């Protein structure tokens, strides 16, 4: 019927994308990462509609992980679909997936590396990802099962560097309905039904069981929990950043000659114990974690258990020897100062 607007699901996805593009300048390039599934296909279609209306250029990237027979053909099909979505620039990126961290983590690492390289090469201002509220709920459950802290339970951010996730406020049912209304046929990745993958078991078994036993709305509640945790984590991180700056400055001002005998091939970070001793544990441990990372400890392998051990140098000081964390970095307490460094140091006698 003339004058009739788009299907409600199409309108919802377009609105979400429009809001995500609001701060970009006319002429900038925005890329949609599209696997051909319902979420990313609806996202790409919305970008193709909204970008020209905002004076932006739209592009599409699809990643061929090479993990399934015919994957190159499917990637080519997604590229060929771009003109129908009103997207002029489209590329298939071929990656080699390693084994580090398991198949899911390895594929994700390879995918993001390829997307980042392509975005830099093309001069893109943003890359849109099709994660929905259901993906956010799955992420929260997975991290909850691992005993993660507030920052991890915050789930996936709506923005992280060049990446943006416009659809975190929408359910997967909306993207499926949007594709149907637009006459787009999504590709159902067999991996999305493979129970060998933890996320698939969460999606296909755990979340439906929670919905049956607790009632509808579990995904929405979990996504809302992520939002609340992110607000808390942001506040605690800001507090910890301010304390860290003071504690490092105070340790430097002390100019204690007893601290000058540490020879190291890497950075040395000194933190004044008096500046952090009376802080809430959530803030103090954030300061300790940052100090360890600044000294060279790899953040990906720096666990809560490591930080808890370092924290005892503050809260349960009894002349302990050096605490080893990760990446060859250790921590020792000397005369009211925590020293994070690679070179072993003798404790106070």
Q: CATH assignment of 230-341, given 3.40.50.10470, 3.40.50.150, 3.90.1170.30, 3.30.465.60?
A: 3.30.465.60
Question: If you average pLDDT over residues 157-175, what whole number do you get?
Answer: 95
Does 37 belong to an annotated binding site?
Answer: yes
**pLDDT at position 272:** 95
Angle between helix axes 281-294 and 304-315 (nearest 10 degrees) is 110
Q: Which pTM does this prediction carry?
A: 0.77
Res 68 pLDDT > 90: no
12 is in an annotated binding site: no
pLDDT band at 48 (very low <50, low <70, confident <90, very high): very high
pLDDT band at 264 (very low <50, low <70, confident <90, very high): low
3-state secondary structure at position 70? coil
Asked whether residue 260 is marked as a ligand-binding residue, the answer is: no
- What confidence score (pLDDT) does residue 142 get? 84
Q: Rounded distance, CA 70 to CA 30, Å? A: 28
Share of the chain above pLDDT 70, in %: 89
Identical fold between 8-216 and 230-341: no
Crossing angle of helices 8-20 and 172-182, in 10° steps, is: 110
Q: Name the percent of the chain in helix, strand, coil, to the closest 5.
A: 55, 10, 35
**Residue with more model confidence, 118 or 152:** 118
Which ranges in 65-217 belong to alpha helices (H)?
A: 71-81, 103-122, 133-145, 150-153, 172-182, 198-201, 207-214
Where in the chain are the domains?
8-216, 230-341
CATH of 8-216, one of 1.20.140.10, 3.40.50.620, 3.40.30.10, 3.40.50.720: 3.40.50.620
Partnered with residue 58 across adjacent β-strands are 30
- 39 has binding-site annotation: yes
Q: What is the pLDDT of residues 192-220, one digit of tens each?
A: 666 777 778 888 888 889 888 888 888 88
Ligand-binding annotation for 40, yes or no, is yes
b/e code 31-42 from CB counts within 10 Å (16+ = b): bbbbbbbbbbbb
What is the pLDDT at residue 125?
Answer: 97
Q: Strand order in 330-334's β-sheet?
A: 269-272, 337-341, 330-334, 323-324
Indicate the range of 203-207, 291-295, 310-314, 317-321 predicted with least confidence: 203-207
């Amino acid at each position: 019927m003339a004058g009739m607007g788009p299907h409600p699901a199409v309108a919802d996805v377009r609105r979400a994308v429009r809001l995500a593009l609001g701060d970009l300048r006319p002429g900038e390039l925005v890329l949609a990462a599209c696997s051909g599934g319902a979420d990313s296909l609806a996202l790409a279609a919305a970008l193709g509609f909204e970008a020209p209306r905002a004076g932006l250029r739209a592009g599409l990237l699809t990643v061929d992980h090479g993990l399934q027979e015919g994957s190159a053909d499917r990637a080519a099909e997604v590229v060929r679909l771009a003109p129908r979505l009103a997207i002029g620039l489209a590329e298939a990126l071929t990656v080699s997936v390693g084994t580090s961290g398991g198949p899911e983590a390895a594929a994700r690492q390879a995918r993001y590396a390829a997307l980042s390289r392509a975005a830099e090469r093309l001069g893109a201002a943003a890359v849109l990802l099709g994660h929905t509220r259901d993906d956010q709920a799955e992420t929260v459950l997975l991290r909850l099962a691992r005993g993660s802290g507030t920052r991890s339970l915050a789930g996936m951010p709506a923005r992280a560097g060049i990446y943006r996730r416009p659809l975190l406020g929408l359910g997967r049912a909306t993207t499926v309905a949007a594709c149907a209304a637009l006459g787009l046929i999504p590709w159902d990745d067999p991996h999305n039904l493979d129970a060998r993958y933890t996320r698939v078991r969460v999606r296909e078994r755990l979340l439906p069981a929670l919905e049956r036993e607790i009632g509808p709305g579990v995904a929405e509640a979990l996504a809302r929990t992520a939002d609340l945790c992110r607000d808390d984590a942001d506040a605690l991180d800001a507090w910890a950043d301010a304390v860290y700056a003071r504690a490092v400055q105070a340790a430097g001002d002390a100019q204690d000659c007893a601290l000058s005998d540490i020879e190291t091939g890497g950075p040395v970070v000194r933190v004044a114990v008096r500046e952090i001793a009376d802080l809430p544990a959530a803030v103090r441990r954030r300061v300790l974690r940052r100090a360890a990372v600044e000294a060279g400890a790899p953040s990906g392998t720096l666990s809560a258990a490591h930080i808890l051990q370092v924290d005892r140098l503050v809260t349960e000081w009894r002349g302990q020897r050096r605490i080893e964390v990760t990446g060859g970095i250790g921590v020792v307490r000397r005369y009211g100062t925590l020293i994070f460094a690679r070179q072993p140091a003798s404790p106070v006698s």
